[in-house]
Amino acid sequence: MAKQIIEITMPQLAESLVSATIERWLKEPGDSIDMYEPICELITDKVNAELPSTVRGKLVKHLVGVGETVGIGAAICLVEVEATGATDNVANPVIQQSEAAEQPSSPSTSRPQLAGAGSGGATIDANAPMRNRYSPAVQKLAADNGIDLNRVPGTGEGGRITRKDVLAAVAAGAATFGTSSNGVASIPVSAPMDPKTQVRSSGMHLSESPRIPSVETQAQEAPGRGEYFIDITPVRNTIATKMRQSVSEIPHGWMMIEVDVTDLVLLRNKLKGEFQNREGINLTYMPFLIKAAVNAIKDYPIMNSVWAVDKIIVKRDINISLSVGTEDSVVTPVIRNADQKNIAGIAHEIDDLARRTREKKLKLDDIQGGTFTVNNTGSFGSILTQPIINYPQAAILTFESIVKRPVVINDMIGVRSMVNLCLSLDHRILDGVICGRFLQRVKENLESYNSDTKLY
Amino acid sequence: MPILKSEWLSRMDYGQAWELQKKLVKEIDREERSDTLLLLEHSPTYTIGSDRHPEHLLYSKEELARRGISLYEIDRGGDITYHGPGQLVGYPLLYLDAVGLDLHQYLRNLEEVIIKLLADFGIVGDRKPEYTGVWVGDLKIAAIGVKFNKARTRRGFVTSHGFALNVKKNVEQDGFQGIIPCGITEYGIASLEMLTGTELQVEAIGQQILPYFTEVFGYSIPIASESLNSLAKLKQA
């Protein structure tokens, strides 16, 4: 893998800030650092602030010691990063002078001219625009032959390294262009999700901003191989076992119904501010959906049952399991006796369960005894799901993303807020007729919300 | 407008409050809690910030023990200061986005909140360009020292520590004579009671400061949550 040395500079943390002092280093040379991870603590005036990294990589060297004060734009440390096109946008490669440091007013610390990977006899213009854009073929060829692309002069457009350049480097011998490290390297791999990326722009959510999983795992990677391995965690294993059991034992059937929730959207918009002020939690669509589903279950109790080979056990208590995703798993905590709670009460339970799930503070009681599962799949923008039943329950209902769509009403086209509800059913217990009626009832309940609906 | 949860924790030991701050900062970072303003009173304590100048503490360890005053070296900006009964301590734990964030502007905003409160009493609070805090003439009435904790899940910061406003008139006699506050030798200390000549309650001043805080920092009306109150009571029990 090609490496690149980047310097992190003192940012302009306040308009009136001219310099800041390093209070202490939180990262030492050799430590790997993640994007936005604090690398040191700064002090300025009455402020103590953690300085986030602007790159992901490995800290190479501190340029400023503890207790030293440096000006804005001065380099404070060096970080080794993977040389990919993306990093060019977020930081200054050390070979380029950063703009701030060039201003005469900013006192700049001495700038060690890092030859680093650049020495190899060949002339390399690191500023060439295409310099660090490698094609997959070039990367593979380089990896197969142990060539460090940082050391290869590029003859392509904009200084880009071509296959021919790599082949020339191979011919010239690995001694000149070889990578220093061989064998298996352990590198942190993260899911390809940028925290800055907006995941979606519409749909309902359990929390206003759904957490974006950032699965960090130690992966084993061999150079040139297109795969790596992740160890199975106990929770992953449990999920796998339950899912396999559900899919192999329960003959799943699927149904979807489309619901006009325009009035519900208006109702929630009307109430959410006051609700937030009064209750201190977000009013999401979830409690409305659960209330609608629970009332429909009361009309069709068979939805709330379990297959027991020689009989069907219909549960009297309506305990709604709620799918809550965490960083790397999914848990289904339970809202007990949901039929006895009003919308505000359900909202509080959802908030409490979701929070405790993420804090990993659920008790065994919280996850047992569910009789019907509701999943808020729409929070990631999905409009259709085929969920797997939460074994041994009889059915699972998803609430997809609410989207505005043109809808024909009385032979006229109107803009309405529409949502899909998807139901997976245990076909040993339930058939199309009963599920169709059930979904129809949930739809009626959801469409009957209006500005007069009471939360309490 | 965002929601601010505010909390009157009454008297709390400094170390306990510090631990609570750290815990709440993490919760706010993970978006499990809305921005929070803790209001409280400390038991007698000296705290030394990042600009460590032990020579600004005039008491020896033995003298501190005799007077029942604790000493903490902590992670806020600033030098030494005193916290004790009769002083309103405010810890705003707020998530601030990194874009357009000005650390010093945050200090000025905290000063602004206190200046607005002082105006209620007909007192003209002032800033000294070289010294953060709020001044009445050459007497310091409020000290400020903050920390910006880098958020782990988002790109901004969560603030901790905050301001200490002297309310009761015994504060300046009790604690500040044992130190050179913030290392400033030439100025003294004031309290609200001393300036107004009336008896005041710390908790009532905490209530009175809330609207100014929400106004300056752009929050909708503050809400008190019971959970933290009970948490604080639990800790005291």
A30-44, A354-368, A384-398: least confident range: A354-368
- At A416 the pLDDT is 92
Specify the pairing of strand A330-331 against strand A334-335.
unpaired
Partner residue facing B223 (CB), from A43, A211, A277: A277
Contact B221 A207 (CB under 8 A): no
**Structure tokens that stand for A453 in this block:** 């609906």
d(CA A221, CA A190): 13
Q: How far apart are the first and last CA of chain A?
A: 60
- At A209 the pLDDT is 42
**Structure tokens that stand for B82 in this block:** 């005193």
- Residue A428: HSE in the Cβ half-sphere, 13 Å Cα cutoff: 18
- At A100 the pLDDT is 38
Catalytic residue status for A62? no
Flag whether pLDDT at B233 surpasses 70: no
Catalytic residue status for B184? no
Domain locations along chain B = 5-236
- At B220 the pLDDT is 66
Flag whether pLDDT at A182 surpasses 60: no
Flag whether pLDDT at B53 surpasses 50: yes
- At B106 the pLDDT is 92
Flag whether pLDDT at A393 surpasses 80: yes
- Residue A192: HSE in the Cβ half-sphere, 13 Å Cα cutoff: 1
Q: Indicate yes or no: pTM above 0.95.
A: no
Partner residue facing A280 (CB), from B5, B101, B106: B5
CA-closest candidate to residue A45, choices B197, B49, B13, B81: B49
pLDDT, mean of residues B43-68 = 81
Percent of chain B with pLDDT over 90: 36
Give the distance, in angstroms, between the CA of residue B27 and the centroid of all CA atoms in the same chain.
20
**Is the ipTM here above 0.85?**
no
Specify the pairing of strand A372-375 against strand A334-335.
unpaired
d(CA B58, CA B44): 15
pLDDT tens by residue, A415-447: 999 999 999 999 999 999 999 999 999 999 999
Q: How many other β-carbons are positioned within 10 Å of the β-carbon of residue A290? A: 26
CATH class of B5-236: alpha beta
Question: What does A282-313 look like in DSSP terms, one character per residue?
Answer: ---SHHHHHHHHHHHHHH-GGGSEEE-SS-EE
Residue of A nearest to B149 (CA): A50
Contact A280 B225 (CB under 8 A): yes
Give the distance, in angstroms, between the CA of residue B63 and the centroid of all CA atoms in the same chain.
25
Instruction: Give the pLDDT band (50/70/90) at residue A246.
Output: very high
d(CA A214, CA A228): 17
Answer whether A198 touches B (CB < 8 Å): no
Instruction: Give the pLDDT band (50/70/90) at residue B92.
Output: very high
- Among B17, B144, B182, B228, which one carries the catalytic annotation? B182
What residues of chain B lie within 8 A of the CB of A273, using their CB? Answer: 220
- At A265 the pLDDT is 93
What residues of chain A lie within 8 A of the CB of B220, using their CB? Answer: 273, 277
Q: What is the DSSP letter of B179?
A: B
Residue of A15, A34, A47, A272 to mutate for B, most B C-beta atoms under 10 A: A47
Cβ partners under 8 Å of residue A244, min gap 6: none
Instruction: Give the pLDDT band (50/70/90) at residue B183.
Output: low
pLDDT, mean of residues A326-335 = 84
Partner residue facing A49 (CB), from B103, B155, B220: B103
Instruction: Give the pLDDT band (50/70/90) at residue A335.
Output: very high
